[in-house]
């Protein structure tokens, strides 16, 4: 059952203090997203005669992990009933060479999983994780802890096989998101708010703009369930900032 109003924001708490319009390369990020006629809303094409993918603002320089996140895990086939939609990818940026993420822990929704690497589809959307039980990090963007907005995507799954982010919409302001990196270090991000939006109206500028420091976005498509257990068509993003 879809929500009564597409694009309705679900605020979990106050936005990050001082979070405003981006500057520098963050502004370039937002401008590139708003100016390009890219694929909008979890893989749904924009209503235009031409649908070019996002033009990157800088040449990509993906972080190269010392060992690929989740490389010791074989990806299982995607069970029937899982979401096949994705979201528009942010423009590729040159990172600062910080260690790549290897694992994500979200105690409030019982997530503790290795991360797989996600790339970019030809249509400009982010690849979906091949295994609904494992989330993935978008490797052409920045790594968590780098300046900019890092992206991690997980599957909502199906009624019979819940995905790793099946409870993403339950995250509340102040919930911890811990990112383990390939060098053994760990970063603590804190959830600030979430946003539910229609697949046809992906709020790219709001989602991908920076706030002056390292940010993290957690995504899933069709992330909530109605009281009767039927999945909705709303997509959910959680906004988080680096603690400390």
Q: How many CB atoms lie within 10 A of CB 60?
A: 14
- Find, among 136, 55, 138, 143, the residue nearest to 95 by Cα: 143
> How many helices (H) does the chain have, and how many strands (E)?
2, 9
pLDDT at 227 over 70: no
> Which phi and psi (to 5°) does residue 26 adopt?
-65, -40
How many residues are given for the chain? 244
pLDDT per residue as tens digits for the range 112-144? 999 999 999 999 899 999 999 999 999 999 999
Confidence of residue 209 (pLDDT cuts 50, 70, 90): confident
| Residue of 125 and 52 predicted with greater confidence | 125
**E strand intervals along the chain:** 101-106, 111-114, 116-118, 136-138, 148-153, 176-181, 186-197, 214-221, 235-242
Of the options 3.40.640.10, 3.40.50.1100, 3.40.50.1970, 2.40.260.10, the CATH number for the domain spanning 25-46+55-67+82-242: 2.40.260.10
19, 22, 82, 149, 165 from 211: Cα distances, Å? 5, 6, 33, 9, 25
Predicted TM-score (pTM) above 0.85: no
- Cite the DSSP H helix spans in the chain: 25-35, 204-208
pLDDT per residue as tens digits for the range 152-189? 999 988 878 889 999 999 999 999 999 999 999 999 99
Q: How many CB atoms lie within 10 A of CB 107?
A: 11
In contact, 155 and 132? CB cutoff 8 Å: yes
Task: Answer positive or negative: Cα dihedral of 212, 215, 221, 224.
Answer: negative
Separation of CA 118 from chain center: 11
- Reduced to 3 states, what is the DSSP secondary structure of residue 40? strand
Q: What is the pLDDT of residue 233?
A: 66
């Amino acid at each position: 059952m879809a929500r009564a109003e597409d694009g309705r924001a679900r605020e979990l708490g106050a936005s990050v203090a001082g979070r405003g319009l981006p500057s520098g390369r963050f502004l370039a990020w937002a401008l590139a997203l708003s100016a390009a006629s890219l694929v909008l809303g979890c893989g749904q094409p924009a209503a235009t005669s031409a649908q070019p993918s996002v033009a990157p603002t800088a040449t990509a320089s993906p972080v190269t992990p010392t060992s690929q996140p989740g490389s010791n895990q074989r990806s299982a086939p995607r069970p029937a009933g899982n979401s096949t939609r994705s979201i528009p990818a942010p423009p590729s940026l040159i990172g600062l060479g910080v260690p790549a993420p290897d694992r994500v822990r979200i105690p409030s929704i019982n997530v503790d999983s290795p991360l797989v690497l996600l790339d970019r589809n030809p249509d400009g959307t982010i690849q979906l994780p091949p295994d609904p039980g494992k989330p993935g990090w978008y490797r052409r963007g920045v790594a968590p802890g780098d300046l900019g907005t890092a992206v991690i995507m997980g599957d909502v799954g199906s009624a019979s096989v819940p995905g790793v982010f099946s409870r993403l919409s339950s995250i509340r302001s102040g919930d911890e998101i811990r990112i383990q990196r390939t060098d053994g270090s760990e970063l603590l991000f804190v959830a600030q708010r979430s946003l539910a939006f229609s697949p046809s109206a992906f709020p790219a500028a709001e989602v991908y703009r920076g706030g002056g420091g390292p940010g993290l976005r957690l995504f899933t498509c069709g992330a909530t369930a109605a009281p009767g257990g039927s999945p909705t068509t709303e997509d959910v993003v959680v906004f988080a900032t680096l603690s400390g």
